[in-house]
Structure 1
Amino acid sequence: MKVILKTLCLCSLALFVISCGQDKKPEETQETSQFKVPVEYYKLDNGLKVILSKDETAPTTVIAVYYNIGFRIEPRDRTGFAHLFEHMMFQGSQNLGKMEFIQLVQKNGGILNGSTRFDFTNYFEVVPSHKLETMLWAEADRMRGLAITQENLTNQQGVVKNEVKVNVLNQPYGGFPWLDMPQYANTNWYNAHNFYGDLEDLDAANLEDVANFFKTYYAPNNAALSVVGDFDTAATKAMIQKYFGDIPASELPEKPDISEPRQEEEKRFVKDDKLANKPATAIAYHMPERNTPEYYAMGLLDQILVQGENALLVQKLEKEKGYTSSVSGGINYLGNMFNYNGPMQWMFNLTYDNETSEADVITAVDEVISKIEAGVTQEMLDNAIVKMRSQLYDDLGGFFGLGRADLLCSFALFDDNPDRINTIEDEFRKVTPELVNKTIKEYLRPTNRTILTVNPLAKQENPQS
């Protein structure tokens, strides 16, 4: 599965307009400086959501198309189908033959990729600005009609099955914990099935499946298009209307129920791994509902507990106990805390020596959780906001504007409001110590967590490893 890096390199602070509150009194200007992303949002008559965000820092443009279909709601008995279809989108369209889309981008000095996530499938190109029209034409061409042939399907079924074998089945810690944990922590099939795909399900996909999936979900009224970078606004609007405006909308099916019940008991699982030679543990807590006050509180708790060298779990497990050299964690391992639209876990994981037991790790974790249960202070929140802002600006400014395009499309698809990109900081600043402490009590309780431990069988078969 192609995955866009969660944290992207920072291109330039000049990508954004900074509002410094110069006309306010001194006591009102403290901590008011923040980025302001230019956002122009409108919809075509066929339902396509369009977001333009201009920036003339460099002569490049990002074109991103996000379809509101991820592997969370792919068809039953077709696990991995959303990801398989991502591959199909590079196999040709009405006017571009097999692999010609990729060649078109690369020969024009650009880069491209695509990925399948929980709640969307996305495609993007970064090209020199004067090639914007070419890329809009190409994206519209494959939205208008895909080359659905048995040869292409059979070929990509083989590609995806090999990808599963290479990345999951034949790798130590393959799928741990990003693929494994949702299957253990969740109870609703839509959230808990094998997103990468069972090999039998991948083989079972047929041409009718592909045609129906494309007709239903790869339609303009189920998509968002963002253009970020150096472009002429009026000309870009005209091009978007020219190439996308007459693509017909589809009749979208009713969204399935993807809700999860409140977890009332701690869950513990062990996964045998014949290729691993050290144990590993992942601990996941169900998140509050997206966009609630508690959701933003958990975002700051993530900063307090696992992000950065001063994070409490890093200090405890790495520095004090020496159990591991790296604690990884966050909200949404396949993106960030903003680009998903359903149940999610806050999770962290670590690999440790065979001399350390799972019980040792859990005891240390519980010590940290008990410490913050005693109360989070305003100073801790202020420090968390500093780290959050740094991470957010890295994401927004990264990779020629792709991080910005990602959030704009996500907020358009999920909230019909891409301007939310400019209110993220405000929501975090509303979080109080009282709210955080309430969130800890409800969401960091042991009965809300799932613990998954890798049992390393390779050490038994090869003691010298």
Structure 2
Amino acid sequence: MFIAPLAAGAQKGMTIPVEYYKLTNGLKVVLSPDKHAPIVTVAVYYNIGFRIEPKNRTGFAHLFEHMMFQGSKNFPKGEFDKLTERNGGFNNGSTRFDFTNYFEVMPAHMLEPILWAEADRMKGLDLNQASLTNQQGVVKNEVKVNVLNRPYGGFPWLDMPQYANENWYNAHNFYGDLKDLDSANLDDVKKFFETYYAPNNAALVIVGDFETADAKKWIEKYFSAIPSSTLPSTPDLAEPVQQKEKRFTKEDALINKPAIAIAYKMPPRNTPEYYAMGLIDQLLVKGKDSRLYHRLVQQKGITANVNGGINYLGNMFNYNGPMLWMTDLIYDGTVPSDSIITQVDLAIADIGKEVSDESIKLAMVKMRSFLYDNLGGFYGIGLADMLACFALFDDNPSRVNSLEQEFRQVTPELVRKTISTYLTPGNRTILITEPAKKESK
């Protein structure tokens, strides 16, 4: 994706073309043309993620993502992959906290067939018991491979929300309990599809080489007649204010070294403190010049690498609800965990004491690098993701062009305020996973 420069003398920032409108059935449409390569990316995002999946059906949102690849009444199972792959493209999908998405990257001349195919499965997914049984098995095996039978499986991306949060919607096992996956029935699947996989609960994004008039004509032709649904009220996702540090330990029989994760509850989205946390994140954990890398790797030699960030299942822009800033690392068992926590506290304190206009400029350089890499790379998928999320969550995909300006409003005083409010022991959860104790013979 080419990001055009602004005119001389204008405030630096992105100028991504964004056209936004809605069909009469409620479908949100975002168009962002770019003629620099003869490819097109189509993405459909549904405003249903695993955060608000039905109770006693953990993992259901993810299970349904798999069901969307089982064919429609006009396009049998396997034909979607053939359409993309035989024409030099690819497709995929994923389930996240607040959305489930499906996308295709194709040669530009294949835009109309892809729009038809996406509309076809939106209006007429082939839901049957054989497909459900098959995909229940697939998802259960995925849980076993990615979590249950893998060292550090689920740590900390899956584990931490369950320990740090109190509200069930934020704290349940998103990947799915095997009993819950088994108990899902065909009626559940049909009701879920009819409720959430409707145009008034979705955003359609097209990025790349296309003619706007043609795209609008095809979108109207294939999507406008799909009926909207009656959406249920959104559950209350609010988390109680955390007043006291929480600490937990779990065992993992597949690991030889312990690992620690430290998570702090984030400020609400789009607040000044939210943008400050984005820059604090850059200073704390992004790159080998970050405070935690310097202290834990270079200075103390406690670990070989430090992970961290806002939203381990995406980034700071593609969620809509309570979120955690988190850092984690694997360390030697001879190192006391409290010494690691102390170094994290000192790194945070360093930023609070030393923050200046210069350090904020450094964080901005790193943030701009992330933004431009994400929005300008990988066939436009990163841009489509952000446009879709801003359409779904904010009704304003043009927000993409104002992000830099929002970060520029962050001052040293705001950074210090954010640290003193959110990066405190009382607002954090610490989770340590240890090698399982071996039974003596």
TM-score bin (small chain): over 0.9
Cα deviation 1:362-411 (Å, max 9, x = unaligned):
12112212223325211111100000000111100121111100000000
Specify the alignment match of 2:109 in structure 1. 130
Q: Distance in 2 between matches of 1:102 and 1:181?
A: 35
1:40 corresponds to 2:27: no
Cα deviation 1:47-82 (Å, max 9, x = unaligned):
000000000111000000000000000000000000
C-alpha contact (below 8 Å) 2:352/2:415 kept by paired residues: no
1:106 corresponds to 2:85: yes
Task: Give the drift of 1:33.
Answer: 2.3
Amino acid at match of 1:401: G
Q: Distance in 2 between matches of 1:423 and 1:370?
A: 30
Moved more, 359-368 or 195-204: 359-368
Amino acid at match of 1:328: N
Q: Distance in 1 between matches of 2:435 and 2:358?
A: 41
C-alpha contact (below 8 Å) 2:147/2:153 kept by paired residues: yes
Percent identity of the aligned residues? Answer: 65
Q: Structure 1: which 4+ aligned runs deviate by more than 4 Å? A: none
Amino acid at match of 2:128: T
Q: Distance in 2 between matches of 1:36 and 1:94?
A: 41
Specify the alignment match of 1:17 in structure 2. 4
Task: Give the drift of 1:456.
Answer: 1.4
SS across alignment from 2:5: strand
The match for 2:405 among 385, 406, 426 is: 426
Cα deviation 1:10-56 (Å, max 9, x = unaligned):
xx6xx111114x2x4xxxx6xx3222100000000000000000001
Amino acid at match of 2:239: E
C-alpha contact (below 8 Å) 1:375/1:437 kept by paired residues: no
C-alpha contact (below 8 Å) 2:90/2:106 kept by paired residues: yes
The match for 1:399 among 361, 378, 381 is: 378
1:302 corresponds to 2:285: no
Gap regions ≥5 residues in structure 2: none
The match for 2:425 among 443, 446, 449 is: 446
TM-score by length of 1: 0.93
Specify the alignment match of 2:38 in structure 1. 59
TM-score by length of 2: 0.98
The match for 2:203 among 221, 224, 240 is: 224
Aligned 1:104-253 pairs, distance under 5 A: 104-253=83-232
Amino acid at match of 1:180: D
Q: Distance in 2 between matches of 1:325 and 1:38?
A: 42
Cα deviation 1:406-436 (Å, max 9, x = unaligned):
0000000000000000000000000111111
Amino acid at match of 1:253: P
Amino acid at match of 2:222: Y
Q: Distance in 1 between matches of 2:189 and 2:419?
A: 44
Aligned length: 440
Specify the alignment match of 1:88 in structure 2. 67
Moved more, 318-327 or 72-81: 318-327
Gap regions ≥5 residues in structure 1: 1-11
Cα deviation 1:278-330 (Å, max 9, x = unaligned):
11000000000000000000000000100011110110001000111110110
Aligned 1:245-394 pairs, distance under 5 A: 245-394=224-373
Amino acid at match of 1:154: T
RMSD: 1.2
